[in-house]
Chains A and B, each alone.
Chain A
Amino acid sequence: MNKVFLIIRREYLSRVKKKSFIVMTFLVPLLFIGMYALIGYLIAKGDEFGDVKNVTVVDENGMFRDQLKDAGNIKFTYTGESYEKAKAGIIGKEDAYLLHIPVATANTEILSSKKAGAGMVSTIEDQMNGIIKNNKLIAAGIDTAVLHRSQSHINISAKQITKEGEKDAGTWIAYGVGFLCAFLIYMSLFIYGTQVMRGVIEEKTSRVIEVIISSVKPFQLLLGKIIGVGLVGLTQFLLWIVLSIVLTGGASTMIMKNKADTAQTAIMKTSPAGQAAAMNTAVEKSNDKDMSVKIMQQIQDIPVAYTVFTFLFYFLFGYLLYSAIFAAVGSAVDSETETQQFMLPITLPLVFTFILSLNFIINNPDSSLSFWLSIIPFTSPIAMMIRIPFGVPLWQLGLSMALLLGGFFFTVWVAARIYRVGILMYGKKASYKELAKWFFYKE
């Protein structure tokens, strides 16, 4: 046991001391956050980055004159020119659009030298529909004030009823957390599994293996290596988790504080008479605009300890199960290029589960397919993580964990039998038949 500890220590320290580990640990969360911030920024400000689109409106029945509002980077100008003349005017001009509304509004068309973007077309369509609808309602004798008040914005908030009371179901956050955990496990099974495989191949090609196993049993070496690399992964994840909790924690308190401040000042500023109205707008505002506050609240509702525990469990045992197979593959080959033929059966269940997770499980977390995928040891680390945020019955979680443990012991046993022979075989092209033979060799 002391020897296994020595091996773990070497495997762990030799990796953690590397510069690449330190860089990865601190850079990856920053990169992720930076990437999301950039995407969010670009989406929010997307319109500003586009060129201004000048839309000349030729309105033949006059219903829309001065009714279309500039939106984003779309600027409307109205002209009394004839359709033909206006059409001639935009030929060859970039970013010049001609919106032609004939008497029969259903035949409206937009002309331009460049293709009009779908977002632009739908913005104009929405505005026109709104105007026509309003006009019709007014024609039917409905007061515009009533009309204005009748407009509503509804956000449905999903609540789960539990014994302790209602709680926010936070569907979107469940999506996000499930996806993130599954994605991290998916990635890490590959990253750390491959590290184990590389380590085995390195020992084989550098021929240090024979020296080592004249001192320890192959199984001790295998175990030490897998645990050592696993601890490296755990260290990295714990650092990532701590970093991201600190970062999101900081971000959420900042956002919440900001929102509260603006709402309060809005109320304070208005006279008592106008206060009620201001309240209304403030509430309305917080209803449709303050998604960010909501998201932050939902994030705070996540049972952190439970999620982190299940994540670490599935990461750890999923990793142990797969890395044992990766190690067996590493022992069977002489170089990394030869691993191809054995990689497919390893990657297939992972990729399969991952794709199904994104397209199916996340939308049907309680279906029977989702259930089975989250029970079978080879697919459960990913499938179960998708299901966790949606709530999983305790017996299913227990069964899944127990089977994963069993699967881990089984694969380690099989992998170790192949490994002990493989590490001493040089220059022999290993096939599946060969691996099976090694498995049945006596000690």
Chain B
Amino acid sequence: MLSIRNIVKQYGSYRALDDVSMEIEQGSIFGLLGPNGAGKTSLIRIINQITAPDSGEILFNGQKLNQSHIERIGYLPEERGLYKKMEIGEQIIYLARLKGLSTDEARRRIKMWFKKLGIESWWNKKIEELSKGMQQKAQFVATVLHEPELIILDEPFSGFDPVNAEVIKNEILELNKNGATIIFSTHRMESVEELCDSIALINKSHKILEGKVKDIKGTYRNNTYLLEYAGSKAEINGAAPFTVVEENNTGDEYRLKLQLAAGGDANSILSHFMAKGHISRFEEVIPTMNEIFIDKVNQMN
């Protein structure tokens, strides 16, 4: 869908993006991650053709990115806002017309979306009369109204209460199901794990990690297991295929973190502890995206 190749962007003496490449698959939800100032916004602006790269190129469905693609992209910027004095219906029509929709078509679709989000009665309200959350909903409608093939969402959940965040999340998933590719820039790692198929991590103008969420997490597995049981303390001798990394107990409740030796079988842990008491929990410890993110960024620094 979108192929980003060797992008370099220089602002004066500051290099915002240094040889950044990534592939975004058709129909995927792609997480663009990175700490503040890493270069995410610069990259998004280049995809939106707000600025142009100094070198490198972007292919949209195999075609070099050009002005005709603008109408096929929807963009919800992190720093968002609308004209405060304008009425909301009129304003979204205006934004939609800038994306190439006709007035009638825009009006029809806005009515549909407003109904869906339960905000039909707002049509003649001015933006300044609305709460922050309401403004965000309106802006979300403006972003997706022209049914873009590629939707770029920069921190889409900021400013929403949990209930409305859920509403928006479901709308995003539905858009994706209907064929839209979504680029999702965020710091909220739990939403990354929930939504994203693939991610790219940018730090200090460089891409430092890219891949499918499942694969990345796979490579970060290190044979660590968490075990909870009630019973007596287990004596572990050197012959066992694992070592105890951490041990906590309150009364006869034990909570252990175990490191399985390379090539060892997880079942051997279970069989070892089955004799010691009643096992209530056993799972492989896979690092969260948050941990991977922090770990990767710290490695770089």
The reply to whether B83 and A214 form a contact with Cβ atoms under 8 Å apart is: no
The reply to whether A213 and B142 form a contact with Cβ atoms under 8 Å apart is: no
The reply to whether B70 and A6 form a contact with Cβ atoms under 8 Å apart is: no
How far does the Cβ of A5 sit from chain B's closest Cβ, in whole Å? 10
Whether B98 is near chain A, meaning CB under 8 Å from some CB there, is yes
Whether B50 is near chain A, meaning CB under 8 Å from some CB there, is yes
Given the contacts A6-B94, A207-B81, A442 and B75 also touching, CB distance less than 8 Å: no
**Count: A-B pairs, CB below 8 Å:** 62
The reply to whether A211 and B94 form a contact with Cβ atoms under 8 Å apart is: no
Contact of B11 among A208, A426, A441 (CB under 8 A): A441
Please measure, in the bound complex, the distance between the C-alpha atom of A215 and the C-alpha atom of B50, giving whole angstroms. Answer: 9
Question: Which residues of chain A (1-40) have a CB below 8 Å from chain B?
Answer: 3, 6-7, 10, 14
Whether A424 is near chain B, meaning CB under 8 Å from some CB there, is yes
Given the contacts A211-B75, A441-B11, A442-B52, A206 and B98 also touching, CB distance less than 8 Å: no
- Chain A residues closer than 8 Å to B3, beta-carbon distance: none
Whether B107 is near chain A, meaning CB under 8 Å from some CB there, is no
Interface residue total, chain A, C-beta cutoff 8 A: 23
Contact of B77 among A203, A210, A216, A442 (CB under 8 A): A210
- Chain B residues closer than 8 Å to A442, beta-carbon distance: 52, 54
- Chain A residues closer than 8 Å to B142, beta-carbon distance: 211
Main SS of the interface on chain B?
loop
Interface residue total, chain B, C-beta cutoff 8 A: 28
Residue pairs across A and B with Cβ atoms less than 8 A apart, 18 shown, are A6-B94, A6-B97, A7-B98, A14-B86, A202-B84, A206-B82, A207-B77, A208-B83, A211-B75, A211-B142, A212-B95, A212-B98, A214-B70, A214-B73, A214-B77, A215-B98, A441-B12, A442-B54
Please measure, in the bound complex, the distance between the C-alpha atom of A203 and the C-alpha atom of B91, giving whole angstroms. Answer: 13
- Chain A residues closer than 8 Å to B80, beta-carbon distance: 207, 210-211
Whether B161 is near chain A, meaning CB under 8 Å from some CB there, is no
Contact of B48 among A10, A207, A214 (CB under 8 A): A214
A51-71 CB mask vs B (1 if < 8 Å, else 0) is 000000000000000000000
Whether A437 is near chain B, meaning CB under 8 Å from some CB there, is yes
- Chain B residues closer than 8 Å to A288, beta-carbon distance: none
The reply to whether A216 and B52 form a contact with Cβ atoms under 8 Å apart is: no
Please measure, in the bound complex, the distance between the C-alpha atom of A211 and the C-alpha atom of B48, giving whole angstroms. Answer: 10
- Chain B residues closer than 8 Å to A10, beta-carbon distance: 94
A209-229 CB mask vs B (1 if < 8 Å, else 0) is 011111110000000000000
Please measure, in the bound complex, the distance between the C-alpha atom of A441 and the C-alpha atom of B52, giving whole angstroms. Answer: 11
Whether A261 is near chain B, meaning CB under 8 Å from some CB there, is no
Given the contacts A6-B98, A10-B94, A14-B85, A211 and B70 also touching, CB distance less than 8 Å: no
Q: Which of B70, B83, B139, B142 has the most CB of A within 10 A?
A: B83
